[in-house]
Amino acid sequence: MIIRNLKDTIKTEDHKQTEAWDSVRLLLAKDGMGFGFHITTMYANTETEIEYKHHLECAFCISGEAEIIDVKSKTKHLITPGSLYALNEHDRHIVRCKKDFVIACVFAPGLIGNETHDAAGSYPKAHEGTKSC
């Protein structure tokens, strides 16, 4: 059994911050669950283009507001508290935050913990031997 508290993970090696977002990574590949779990805050008035080529992501909005734009179709979706979005086809997308946007995220496979987006908006491929769902 794994028990963790958000406040105990802040400012540790499992907490990653950039100018546009802050991600507290509570469950990682090393935990052997086959997926990861993060609480991420994307900051108001930011726009981030992302394409997870090697991971699937599901995000549930806890607070705030953002527009998710599917780059391929140009479709826009307003995400507010209680909404979920899932990137089930490695969808290239833009997250345009109107307010601080707090989401609970599940990644499959789980991240190692220190990753940040590369120039293409992706995380590196999972290391060999990393368990996937």
Contact at 8 Å (CB) between 24 and 10?
Answer: yes
Domain around 80: 31-99
Is 43 contained in some domain?
yes
CATH number where 36 lies: 2.60.120.10
Query: Which residues contact residue 28 at a Cβ distance below 8 angstroms, ignoring those fewer than 6 apart?
Result: 14, 36, 110, 111, 112, 113
Is 24 contained in some domain?
no
Cα 72–76–77 angle (5° rounding)?
125
pLDDT at 118: 52
- Tens place of pLDDT for every residue, the chain, 133 residues? 999 999 999 999 999 999 999 999 999 999 999 999 999 999 999 999 988 888 899 999 999 999 999 999 999 999 999 999 999 988 999 999 989 999 999 999 888 766 665 566 555 566 544 444 4
- Burial class for 120, CB neighbours closer than 10 Å (0-12, 13-18, 19+): exposed
pLDDT at 130: 45
Is 22 contained in some domain?
no
Domain count, the chain: 1
